[in-house]
Amino acid sequence: MRRISRLAAVFAALTFAAAPVLADTTQEVVNKAPNGLALTPPMGWNSWNKFACDVNEQTVRATADAMVASGMRDAGYQYVVIDDCWHGPRDANGFITADAQKFPSGIKALADYVHSRGLKFGIYSDAGRLTCGGRPGSQGHEYQDALTYARWGVDYLKYDWCSTGDRNAKEAYAVMADALRQSGRPIVFSMCEWGTAKPWLWAKNTGNLWRTTGDIWDSFATKDKAHDWAHPVTDIVDLNEPLWSYAGPGHWNDPDMLEVGNGGMTPAEYRSHFSLWAMMAAPLIAGNDIAHMDASTRSILLNGDVIAVDQDTLGIQGHRVVKDGTSEVWTKPLANGAVAVLLFNRGEQPATISATAQQLSVPLTRRTRMRDLWGHRDVRLRNAAISAMVEAHGVAMFRLDPAGTAR
């Protein structure tokens, strides 16, 4: 342990020596987060939702290539994250190794490849003895693992909660947060504790994002009867929405990764899923096969207007302001006095959904600029209300810029 701390100190000293001096304004922003990272919700791709344990280095390389070729990298998707099952055994000194069949070139070479494509690289571990997929967890090896990740060039760690026995979540996540800090490399810390110990109440200075629910299930509203920890989109929304006041720059509620493009929902339902995640300032971590996605999936994941709502620099999580049966209205304040508005129809039939200026807490005048974020056009406000016919399970989404403000 002592040898490892010394290594970490040398590593940290080298990194700090190379760090640029921060201007005052940047420093203020850095102070908002425990490690100065994820000042807007992280965006990227994770292997789990599509590939589960069937992940290997060819898939990760092909995904990184496709993220560049499809325009996803340039749209803001940054982190390429390998989830569970990349691990081999620990070596004689306790250092974690990669599964030699699936990752014969090793993790460092893969991280180098991902970096060479202008992307960042992420990996997965667990606070218990074993990961959820039965691979070695980090319990008792936290500082050693964080140092290994730093040496490999890891930029993002997702840290799960299987096989933790009676471990205390606050303590377990604090240990890995400290280990990552001491590694000397900036590493986004994604806590995957499923909301069991209410991390939104205590993890603001521990993690950059924390899961608020069990796993997402690729369905709009149908529960998977075989897996009671898995939730369809509407259930996740109802669990994550009330937590809106706990999110902010550097510390986000995480309602789990995207299922867009995985086949369990219609295009309208996937547009709703993506829009609701953007309104909730959720991490946008694609979970589909990027190298083989269809045009509909691409048009959803690459909707720059919706991504801009998610990535707004104020970092305020939006929430529901009206619920009338299966019709809902949501708002999210944006920088420069702008507001995003979502009209969401959970019902089985098309519905007209309307919202008044009072319900939205925004002045609506003839000079208000309004953009339809799925229609990709500016629309004229006819009176002091917003109204749209919304398809079943669908959304209409708008951005309002009050008169006289610049975009």
Is the CB of residue 81 less than 8 Å from the CB of residue 123? yes
Query: Which residue is listed with tokens 């009867």?
Result: 225
Is the CB of residue 238 less than 8 Å from the CB of residue 280? no
| Candidate list 33, 38, 79, 83; residue touching ligand GLA; CB under 6 A | 83
| Candidate list 43, 72, 132, 300; residue touching ligand GLA; CB under 6 A | 132
What is the DSSP secondary structure assignment for residue 337, as one 8-state letter?
G
| CB of residue 394 to ligand GLA, shortest distance in Å | 27
Handedness of CA 176, 172, 48, 87 (dihedral sign): positive
Q: Which one of 89-97, 98-106, 125-133, 292-300 is the stretch in contact with ligand GLA (CB under 6 A)?
A: 125-133
| CB of residue 279 to ligand GLA, shortest distance in Å | 22
Is the CB of residue 189 less than 8 Å from the CB of residue 176? yes
Q: Which strand (E) or helix (H) includes residue 240?
A: helix 233-240
Q: Which one of 2-10, 130-138, 144-152, 244-252 is the stretch in contact with ligand GLA (CB under 6 A)?
A: 130-138
* Residues within window 18-77 making contact with ligand GLA, judged by CB under 6 A: 48
Residues recognised as catalytic: 160, 215
| CB of residue 158 to ligand GLA, shortest distance in Å | 7
Residues belonging to the chain: 407
Our finding on whether 99 is near ligand GLA (CB under 6 A) is no
Per-residue interface string for the shown chain with ligand GLA, residues 203-242, x marking contact by CB under 6 A: ------------x---------------------------
| CB of residue 25 to ligand GLA, shortest distance in Å | 36
Q: Which of 131, 137, 114 is nearest to 63 (CA)?
A: 114
| Candidate list 133, 153, 248, 347; residue touching ligand GLA; CB under 6 A | 133
* Residues within window 241-300 making contact with ligand GLA, judged by CB under 6 A: none
| Candidate list 99, 160, 235, 391; residue touching ligand GLA; CB under 6 A | 160
Q: Which two tokens stand for residue 60?
A: 């990760």
Q: Which of 138, 134, 136, 202 is nearest to 171 (CA)?
A: 202
| CB of residue 218 to ligand GLA, shortest distance in Å | 13
Query: Which residue is listed with tokens 């240990």?
Result: 175
Q: Classify 18 as helix, strand or coil.
A: helix
Strands 339-345 and 395-401 turn out to be antiparallel
Q: Which one of 109-117, 126-134, 235-243, 388-396 is the stretch in contact with ligand GLA (CB under 6 A)?
A: 126-134
Residue of minimal Cβ distance to ligand GLA: 132
Q: How many CB atoms lie within 10 A of CB 307?
A: 19
Q: Which one of 29-37, 129-137, 297-305, 361-369 is the stretch in contact with ligand GLA (CB under 6 A)?
A: 129-137
What is the DSSP secondary structure assignment for residue 185, as one 8-state letter?
S
Q: How far apart are CA 11 and CA 137, in angstroms?
A: 24
Binding stretches for ligand GLA (CB under 6 A): 48, 83-84, 131-133, 160, 192, 215
